[in-house]
Amino acid sequence: MRGGTRLPRAVRLLVVARAVNRLGAFSLSFLTVLITTRFGASAAAAGGVSAAFGVATVPSRLVGGRLADRIGRRRTIVLGLTGCAVAQVGLATAGGLVTAVCWAVLLGLVFEIYEPPSQAVIADVVAPDEQVRAYGLLNAALAAAGMGAGLLAAAVGRWDLRWLFAVDALTCLLCALTVRLLLPADGRVASAAAARSTSASPWRDRALLRMLAAGTLFAVVYLQIMITLPLALDHEGLRPADAGLLFTVSALTVAAGQPLMRWRRLRTLSAPVAFVAGHLLLTVGLAGYAAADGLAVHVASTVVWSAGDLLLVGRAQAVVASLAPPGGTGRYLAVYGTSWGIAGVAAPLTGTQLLEHAGTVGLWSATALACLVLAALQPALLRAAGLPRAHREPRSPAVELPDGTAH
**pLDDT in the model for residue 24:** 59
CATH of 202-393, one of 3.40.190.10, 1.20.20.10, 1.20.1250.20, 2.60.40.420: 1.20.1250.20
Could you give the C-alpha distances from 6 to 130, 133, 261, 310, 345, in angstroms and in order?
9, 10, 13, 20, 39
Q: At what angle do helices 242-257 and 131-156 cross, to 10 degrees?
A: 150
Alpha carbons 118 and 67: distance in angstroms, whole number: 12
Tell me, what amino acid is at 195?
A
Give 61-114 pLDDT, tens digit per residue.
899 988 988 888 889 999 999 999 999 999 889 888 899 889 989 998 998 898
Number of neighbouring beta carbons within 10 Å of residue 356: 12
Mean per-residue pLDDT, 141-151: 70
pLDDT for 191 beyond 50: no
Alpha carbons 244 and 111: distance in angstroms, whole number: 24
pLDDT for 405 beyond 50: no
Phi, psi of 238 (to 5 degrees): -95, 170
Enumerate the domain spans of the chain.
Answer: 1-181, 202-393
Give 257-285 pLDDT, tens digit per residue.
877 777 777 767 788 899 999 999 999 99
Alpha carbons 168 and 373: distance in angstroms, whole number: 38
Structure letter (DSSP) for residue 26: T
Tell me, what amino acid is at 139?
N
Number of neighbouring beta carbons within 10 Å of residue 214: 21
- Taking Cα atoms as reference points, which of 157, 172, 168, 197 lies closest to residue 113? 172
**pLDDT in the model for residue 199:** 54
Half-sphere exposure of 38 (CA within 13 A, CB side): 21
Give 384-398 pLDDT, tens digit per residue.
766 555 454 544 444
**pLDDT in the model for residue 407:** 34
**pLDDT in the model for residue 190:** 36
The DSSP result for 293-362, as a single string, is -SHHHHHHHHHHHHHHHHHHTTHHHHHHHHHSPTT-HHHHHHHHHHHHHHHHHHHHHHHHHHHHHHHHHH
Give 292-335 pLDDT, tens digit per residue.
988 999 999 999 999 999 888 778 888 888 888 887 888 898 89
Per-residue pLDDT band for 402 (boundaries 50, 70, 90) equals very low
Tell me, what amino acid is at 384?
A
pLDDT for 146 beyond 90: no
Map residue 263 onto helix, strand or coil.
Answer: strand
Asked if domains 1-181 and 202-393 share a fold, the reply is yes
pLDDT for 401 beyond 70: no
**pLDDT in the model for residue 152:** 65
**pLDDT in the model for residue 184:** 79
Q: Are 263 and 316 in contact (CB under 8 A)?
A: no
**pLDDT in the model for residue 200:** 67
**pLDDT in the model for residue 321:** 85
pLDDT for 187 beyond 60: yes
Is the domain defined by 1-181 classed in CATH 1.20.1250.20? Answer: yes
Structure letter (DSSP) for residue 159: T
Structure letter (DSSP) for residue 29: G
Per-residue pLDDT band for 227 (boundaries 50, 70, 90) equals confident
Phi, psi of 400 (to 5 degrees): -80, 120
Chain-centroid distance, C-alpha 14: 15
Q: Any alpha helices (H) in 199-241, and if so which ranges? A: 206-235
Higher pLDDT among residues 394 and 34, named by residue: 34
